[in-house]
């Protein structure tokens, strides 16, 4: 029986194989690799401490940024476990020196301004055709939109607004996974910050004054005094032997635990003035925020949720 291939043919095939392998190694491509860049999967980021109802964000595909490097502001990540929520943090991506804002105008008759980039997020307000404002971030076909007329910030779908070209280079929001949800709809003051724990309900007493208010909470047994400058001061309950003068017509004495603090500290009296109403006992909703230490409370009047730090107070959002 004769061989199917002559020694010369076998030698030629061997030389050709060696040449192909040597060329592939020289080019830095292993056999079986096409040399094309792999598709990278990025997490699209959720913003504004907002929480989607029963949903989590979707993983989207994005090409690497110009210059062949991955966009540093978008981090590859795994899908978060169900039930975890997101808090806003915006990364300066979209190219070096990209705009921080751009101009937007609502073109639909009316659309909801939502707390996050998606239809499952809560409604903050309604904006109407012709409403102008600024875009501050983008995510998955949505813009973070500050409505100038309402002075409110939320998210709108990209197809519902007329956007200038600069909006394509806005920062892409970066997701922070929060283990706890806010009990209210937060505003920009909590951007990128997570609750330190679950919200709770505690017994509290509140009394309004001419220039501020006093607040006592049962869980800490602390009295907080807030004057017109918004700077809080805290006291432990005290006793006093000082007599309270009769208040002017239409005003009130400080009540209960507030009276001794008001009488013993001249600075408190000067900062607050007389009480404008009786004290109110109520169930306070409260929650702590991490980094820096902040605590959030509801007052018996109004829908605002108030935030306290060591040296300031601020409106953190509104009750749902």
Residue by residue, pLDDT tens for the chain (320 residues) are: 445 567 776 777 778 778 767 665 555 444 444 443 333 222 223 333 333 333 333 333 333 333 433 333 322 334 344 444 444 444 433 333 456 789 999 999 999 998 778 887 778 889 999 999 999 888 878 899 999 988 888 889 999 999 998 898 888 776 555 778 899 988 878 877 888 899 999 999 999 999 999 999 999 999 999 999 999 999 999 998 888 789 999 999 999 999 999 999 999 999 999 999 999 999 999 999 976 689 999 999 899 999 999 889 999 999 98
Residues 6+ positions from 12 with CB-CB distance below 8 Å? none
Instruction: Identify the pLDDT of residue 23.
Output: 63
Cβ–Cβ under 8 Å, residues 156 and 145 = yes
Cβ–Cβ under 8 Å, residues 105 and 132 = yes
Residue 267 burial (10 A CB sphere; 0-12, 13-18, 19+): exposed
How far apart, in whole angstroms, are the C-alpha atoms of residue 40 and residue 42? 6
Residue 251 burial (10 A CB sphere; 0-12, 13-18, 19+): middle
- What's the mean pLDDT when you consider all of the chain? 77
Instruction: Identify the pLDDT of residue 73.
Output: 32
Instruction: Identify the pLDDT of residue 158.
Output: 93
* Cβ atoms within 10 Å, residue 276: 16
Instruction: Identify the pLDDT of residue 225.
Output: 97
Instruction: Identify the pLDDT of residue 194.
Output: 83
Instruction: Identify the pLDDT of residue 267.
Output: 95
Cβ–Cβ under 8 Å, residues 209 and 276 = yes
Residues 6+ positions from 177 with CB-CB distance below 8 Å? 80, 84, 85, 86
Instruction: Identify the pLDDT of residue 228.
Output: 93
Going along the chain from its start, the domains and CATH numbers come out as 102-170 (2.30.30.40), 200-319 (no CATH)
pTM: 0.52
106-135 burial string, b = 16+ CB within 10 Å, else e? Answer: beeeebbbbbbbbeebeebeebeeebebbb
Cβ–Cβ under 8 Å, residues 303 and 316 = no
How far apart, in whole angstroms, are the C-alpha atoms of residue 260 and residue 200? 28
Task: Tell me which residue of 208, 173, 196 sits closest to 74, measured CA to CA.
Answer: 173
Task: Tell me which residue of 272, 181, 178, 175 sits closest to 223, measured CA to CA.
Answer: 272
Instruction: Identify the pLDDT of residue 245.
Output: 84
């Amino acid at each position: 029986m004769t061989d199917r291939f002559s020694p010369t043919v076998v030698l030629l095939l061997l030389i050709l194989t060696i040449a192909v392998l040597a060329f592939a190694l020289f080019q830095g491509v292993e056999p079986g690799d096409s040399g094309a860049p792999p598709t990278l999967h990025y997490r699209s980021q959720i913003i504004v401490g907002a929480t989607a109802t029963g949903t989590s964000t979707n993983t989207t595909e994005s090409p690497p940024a110009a210059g062949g490097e991955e966009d540093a502001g978008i981090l590859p990540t795994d899908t978060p476990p169900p039930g975890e929520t997101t808090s806003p943090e915006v990364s300066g991506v979209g190219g070096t020196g990209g705009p921080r804002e751009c101009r937007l105008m609502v073109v639909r008759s009316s659309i909801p301004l939502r707390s996050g980039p998606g239809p499952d997020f809560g409604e903050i307000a309604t904006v109407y055709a012709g409403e102008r404002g600024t875009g501050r971030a983008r995510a998955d076909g949505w813009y973070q939109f500050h409505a100038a007329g309402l002075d409110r910030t939320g998210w709108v779908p990209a197809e519902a607004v007329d956007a200038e070209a600069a909006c394509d280079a806005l920062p892409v929001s970066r997701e922070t996974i929060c283990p706890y949800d806010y009990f209210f709809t937060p505003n920009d003051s909590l951007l990128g910050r997570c609750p330190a724990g679950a919200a709770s309900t505690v017994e509290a007493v509140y009394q309004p004054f001419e220039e501020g208010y006093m607040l006592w909470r049962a869980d800490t047994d602390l009295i907080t005094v807030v004057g017109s400058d918004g700077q809080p001061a805290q006291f432990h309950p005290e006793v006093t032997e000082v007599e309270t003068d009769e208040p002017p017509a239409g005003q009130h004495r400080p009540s209960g635990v507030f009276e001794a603090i008001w009488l013993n500290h001249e600075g408190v009296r000067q900062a607050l003035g007389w009480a404008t109403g009786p004290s109110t006992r109520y169930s306070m909703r409260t929650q702590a925020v991490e980094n820096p230490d902040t605590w959030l409370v509801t007052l018996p009047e109004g829908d605002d949720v108030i935030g306290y730090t060591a040296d300031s107070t601020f409106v953190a959002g509104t009750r749902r």
